[in-house]
């Protein structure tokens, strides 16, 4: 069961920091949001492999939206 990674703040996707299939450690940025004029990383909650990135750069996401899936 892949784990959903959710945006914790409303903002615009500034950068996709991890590609599908990439191994990430807990705390690594998966995507970076721009909000409050700051680049705010959305981090992997645990070690794992990125299964899917569900957003694209420039897209607006709401707090709580699922932005990626972690295997």
Site string for another protein, 7-46 (x = CB under 8 A): -xxx-----------------------xxxxxxxx-----
Q: Which is nearer to another protein, 35 or 59 (CB)?
A: 35
Angstrom CA distances, 71 to 1, 11, 14, 45, 47, stand at 7, 25, 23, 11, 9
> Are 10 and 26 within 8 A, CB to CB?
no
Stretch of 5-13, 17-25, 48-56 lying at the interface with another protein (CB under 8 A): 5-13
Q: Can you tell me the distance from the alpha carbon of 30 to that of 20, in angstroms, rounded to the nearest whole number?
A: 10
Q: In the complex, what is the shortest distance from the CB of residue 38 to another protein, in angstroms, rounded to a whole number?
A: 3
């Amino acid at each position: 069961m892949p784990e959903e990674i959710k945006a914790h703040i409303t903002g615009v996707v500034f950068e996709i920091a991890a590609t599908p299939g990439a191994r990430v450690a807990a705390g690594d940025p998966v995507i970076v949001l721009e909000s409050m004029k700051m680049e705010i990383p959305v981090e992997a909650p645990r070690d794992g492999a990125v299964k899917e990135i569900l957003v694209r750069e420039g897209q607006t996401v709401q707090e709580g939206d699922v932005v990626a899936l972690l295997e």
